Amino acid sequence: MRAGKGAHISAVFISYARGDEAQSQRVAEALRSEGYAVWRDDELPAHRAYTDVIEERLNAAEAVVVLWSAESAKSQWVRAEADTARKLGTLVQANLDGSSPPIPFNQIQFADLLAWDGRSDAPGWVKLRASVLALAGPPPTNEGPANVARERSICVLPFANMSGDAEQEYFSDGISEDITTDLSQVSALSVVARNTAFSFKGSVGDVSEIARKLRVSHILQGSVRKAGTRLRITAQLIDGRTGDHVWAQRFDRDLTDIFAIQDEISHAIVDALRLKLLPDEKRAIEQRGTADADAYKFYLMARQYWVSGNHGDPRREERVIRICQRAIAIDPDYARALALLAIAQSSLRFWFGRPGDDGVAAAERALLIDPNIAEAHCPQARRFAEEQRFIEAGAEIATALELDPTSWDVNREAGRLCIAQRRIADAKFHFEKAVAAMESDFFGWGLLMSCKFALGDRQGAVELAGLTFAQADKVLVNDPSNSSALVVSAAALIMMGERSRADERIERALLIDPENLNIRYFCGCSYAMAHDLTPAMEMLSAFFDGASLAMISYAEADPDLDNLRAEPEFISMLNRSKERIAGKRGATASS
């Protein structure tokens, strides 16, 4: 084992192409089940440069498993990673589809996983495991793999909102996320992703049990009470093995001290775990994007509305725009607030066809202040897509993904762009990334379900329907009037064959929010996929009467509607809608 900067980092690095995500995950899970620490690029820490993390993990790995396929052979990333591993003497090769690896890798032995079904005694797997064993040594054997905690690892559980006001939830959630981000900057510490940590929100389970499930050495939990300008934050660092408190503190401060409190918590954890904080890491932790607590508060509020608001209702975008403008009025150089403002403006302008700012100006300003904000590339990508300039749109998204491959906003935008080009497998990949980043994204789960169906994986679509329904139903518990959650859960029910329950939810959604075109579109798609053409046409008729150009372009490419493409009524509706948009544009140009 090589000592030094990366000695604590995962023993096995897996290199793969985007289209081989499922196979790479199977390989990773099989190696983890045997006790190996495995790293893939779906575990990139928040707000660190993609290339920096990849280089660090590659150099630190004892074995680099490269999964070759026709797609990965064309990937510059995979070839570069394979070449680095070859030079370091850590290369382990496997072939997924029978295609020949590129030169010079076709001259090196590889394991054949073409027909591998996950069995541990399959010849290809035995060969791959033997190579990993030779390079990385045997995995830990003193405990079952599920019980082996990663040394110096932590999960930041969502801090409890003790303010007595559910509306303050955005604030406690934001603090939890920011502490997670801060700790992710520490190279000597493994931090559980926000999505996984938030799956335990509200849990009253035993902390040691949570630590065992996550294989972490420590748990951070706490609470936030906000009353006017006063804050009370409690935090406890708990040893996951014993359940003992390693460190605990209560902070009674003014709201203006919020950043100092977060810094103190992060530094206290670093000290308690006897970690060394490098100068760059210390600067990264202490950089907040704003020094004003009120601007920060409004940004957190806007972000909460953006994530959990009612999709398809332009009032969500309008609310986010107003709150972000308030934050920017307090701090004009708050780049993250500018980027969120830009995304909301872009959605209002293009998706809803509203006149006004398309967000590009605010996005460009955000990038001038902080060039590393991935989400600020989304408005320009959407402008290019609106103009059918898909190459330029793809370039913007590629830049954004290089900055932050795990970004929820960027992967959602990338998925939409892929659908517009009928690249369904790529869209599926990005929607998977989106729901991994934000498990509560019921709309993303619904889109992922549709992709599975379009790719012919009917059983997979039904399985995802269950997950989609569960996430949408969680939202409805707290917000029964969320029409998008109603209609997405209805689409999941249709996929599962529960039509009567689905129809009840659709009726509720239309009564609550009759002007929401997303509702009618999602319903039309669900009925079309179920080959129920009459209600599909009824829903889509109202949709096409008011659809924006972006909505129409999406519908033209959406595989959900393929069962309707040859229907004269559908063709007529689509053409009338395009003529309506063309007439509007002509009238605007002449005026």
Q: Are residues 108 and 221 in the same domain?
A: no
Q: Where are the alpha helices (DSSP H) in 455-561?
A: 458-478, 483-495, 499-512, 517-529, 533-546, 549-557
Q: Are residues 84 and 211 in the same domain?
A: no
Q: Are residues 127 and 19 in the same domain?
A: yes
Q: Are residues 132 and 247 in the same domain?
A: no
Q: Hunting for tokens 């997979």 — which residue is that?
A: 460
Q: Are residues 165 and 279 in the same domain?
A: yes
Q: Is residue 186 part of a domain?
A: yes
Which residue, 229, 255, 288, sits at the end of a domain? 288
Based on the structure, what is the number of domains in the chain?
2
Q: Is residue 308 part of a domain?
A: no
Q: Which of 180, 221, 229 is nearest to 204 (CA)?
A: 221
Write out the chain's pLDDT in tens, 591 residues: 333 333 334 578 999 987 888 888 888 888 887 778 887 765 554 444 556 667 777 887 889 999 999 888 888 788 888 888 888 888 999 999 888 888 888 878 888 898 787 777 788 888 888 888 878 777 654 444 444 445 678 889 988 888 877 667 888 888 888 888 888 778 778 888 777 788 787 776 678 888 887 888 899 998 998 887 888 889 999 988 888 888 888 888 888 888 888 888 888 888 888 777 667 766 766 667 888 989 998 999 999 889 877 787 889 999 999 999 999 999 999 999 999 999 999 999 988 888 889 999 999 999 999 998 999 999 999 999 989 899 999 999 999 998 888 889 999 999 999 999 999 999 999 998 888 778 778 888 999 999 999 999 888 888 888 888 988 888 888 788 889 899 999 999 999 999 999 999 999 999 998 888 888 998 999 999 999 999 999 999 989 988 888 888 889 999 999 999 999 999 999 999 988 888 766 555 555
**Pairwise CA distance, residues 514 & 524, whole Å:** 14
Q: Is residue 45 part of a domain?
A: yes
| Stated pTM of the model | 0.68
Q: What is the CATH number of the domain that holds 194?
A: 3.40.50.10610
Q: Is residue 132 part of a domain?
A: yes
Q: Is residue 576 part of a domain?
A: no
Q: Are residues 123 and 224 in the same domain?
A: no
Q: Is residue 128 part of a domain?
A: yes
**Pairwise CA distance, residues 376 & 259, whole Å:** 24
Which residue, 265, 288, 311, sits at the end of a domain? 288
381-412 burial: b if 16+ Cβ within 10 Å, else e: bbbbbbeeebeebbebbeebbebbbbbbbbbb
**Pairwise CA distance, residues 202 & 198, whole Å:** 9
Q: Is residue 120 part of a domain?
A: yes
Q: Is residue 48 part of a domain?
A: yes
Q: Hunting for tokens 């110096």 — which residue is that?
A: 152
- Residues spanned by the domain of 57: 12-136
Q: What is the CATH number of the domain that holds 38?
A: 3.40.50.10140
Structure tokens at 163: 């303010």
